[in-house]
Chains A and B, each alone.
Chain A
Amino acid sequence: MDSKEYITSGKIEEYILGLLSPKDEKELLEFAEKHPEIKQEIEANQAALNQYANAFSQIPPADLEESIIAELDALAEEEANAPQKRTLTSSVNQEKLAQNTQIKTISKFRIPLIAASVALLLSLVGNVLLYQNWQNTQRKLHTALLDNTQFAQKLQVNQTENQLLAQKLDLLKNPANQYVELKGSDAFPESKVLIYWDDNAETVFLQIENLPEPPEGKQYQLWAIYQDKAIDAGVFETGDKAKQLQKMKAIAGADMFVVTLEKKGGVPQPEGQAYVIGKVS
């Protein structure tokens, strides 16, 4: 039989449908080995039949795969155990036995499962460590930011102090300025206030060195005493602003300066107790 005859004989179709006798089948396959066109013909028919079979596709029940895998699993376990029954004739066998014993409870199908579990566990541990690390970093960052803020605040304080010192220096360097130290009265010996007064420009700067915090509703007021008259030089702040130079009201002439405690907002003429007094030299 030649190729053409084979193709027209219908044997190829019979073969793929499983109709040929073993003898005819063997003959056909041997012939196909030597004749690529026959092999091709077989493949083409087979592909068509496969597609026909494929047309009946049905999604199998969802749990079927699991059930099959369980059986394969059991099989793999059996295989792993089987060599143990053999007699140990060589060291090779012993080695195999050792290996098999090791994996006897871990079947081929469970190894990936265990590997996955281990990977998951490692991943979880890794996550915890990373989380802790992250938290640490967060804390450190927070501390750093706090420090930064503190430094910034300190810097600002320093800058303010610098500014103050610079202003003071300017006031002191200016020969027009008179420096008056107001010392505590007998009742308040610890109190001290500094006054820089330029009688030409009539500017007065006040700096608190030490004054008790005034009670609620009260405020300190500066007076210039000139020719036995008290001239209001304005009220001033205490507390946070206490160390700053505070510009007071313009004063043209003064023999001395006095600070009294008055009601908040000040009064036209001094009524309260004098805290500090200083004579203009």
Chain B
Amino acid sequence: MQASSKLLHQELELINLLKQKDRQSFSTLYDRYSPALFGVILKIVKTEEVARDVMQESFVKIWKKIDSYDREKGTLFTWILNISRNTAIDKIRSADYRHSQQTSDINDEVTKTQPSTQTPIEHIGLDTLVKSLRIEYQEVINIIYFKGHTHTEAAEALSIPLGTLKTRVKAALQELRKLT
């Protein structure tokens, strides 16, 4: 309890400094969260070149919008993670990105989420957590969380009924909670 309250205190202090646009706090934020954000962005946009741009865009958004962030609605990490994730998803949906990714068929998405064809990048802690999560659970989370697909899109992409998808989403999260 004490450790977590200390962490909370640190986070609140960081938020406070960020809201004051304190220069040092930005570096703290960056040091603390940039690997996680970059990892998620890279997972979504695939190439480092695009990931750089998205990362930059995301941090600028974070910096600009920090005033509107409300700790009551979730942790700072959740907030910045969602900003980065949404920025990355917007990117892959943009005409520009689609044009540049012409070669990879949009219908390939399903196979891409299969572990066997995942980009062989070294992930920190990926082995322990992700490998212990069942593949069908990884699939649903990845297709929704990293691709921004809706229920229907996801069910279609995975070729499963909508009801099955919903059940699987719930089960996937439950399992994830057990693992973390």
Contact = CB atoms under 8 A, between A and B. Distances in A.
B77 to A, nearest CB: 6
Interface string A49-88: 1111111111111001101110110011000000000000
Given A57-B35, A58-B38, A68 B123 contact: no
Contacts of B73: 29
Interface string A105-116: 000110110000
Interface string B143-169: 011001011000000000000001101
A48 B132 CA distance: 14
A60 B55 contact: yes
Nearest to B137: A52
Nearest to A19: B151
Contacts of A57: 35-36, 38-39, 123-125
Secondary structure class of chain B's binding surface, majority of residues: helix
B145 to A, nearest CB: 6
A39 to B, nearest CB: 9
Contacts of B60: 68, 71-72, 75
A52 B26 CA distance: 24
Nearest to B37: A60
A58 B78 contact: no
A65 B150 contact: no
B110 interface: no
Contact of A59 (B38, B75, B126): B38
B62 to A, nearest CB: 10
B81 to A, nearest CB: 6
Interface in B42-91: 42-43, 48, 51-52, 55-56, 59-60, 63-64, 73-75, 77-78, 81-82, 85
A58 B145 contact: no
Interface residues of B, number: 57
A47 B123 CA distance: 19
A17 interface: yes
Interface stretch (A8-16, A147-155, A194-202, A231-239): A8-16
Nearest to A113: B23
A215 interface: no
Contacts of B21: 76, 108
Interface of A: 10, 13-14, 16-19, 29, 43-61, 64-65, 67-69, 71-72, 75-76, 108-109, 111-112
Given A13-B170, A52-B130, A56-B123, 12 more contacts: A10-B167, A19-B144, A48-B176, A52-B180, A53-B39, A53-B85, A55-B124, A55-B126, A56-B42, A56-B126, A60-B35, A72-B60
23 contacts: A10-B167, A10-B170, A13-B170, A17-B144, A48-B177, A48-B179, A50-B77, A51-B176, A52-B130, A53-B39, A54-B36, A55-B123, A55-B129, A56-B39, A57-B35, A57-B124, A60-B38, A65-B34, A67-B56, A68-B55, A69-B26, A72-B60, A112-B23
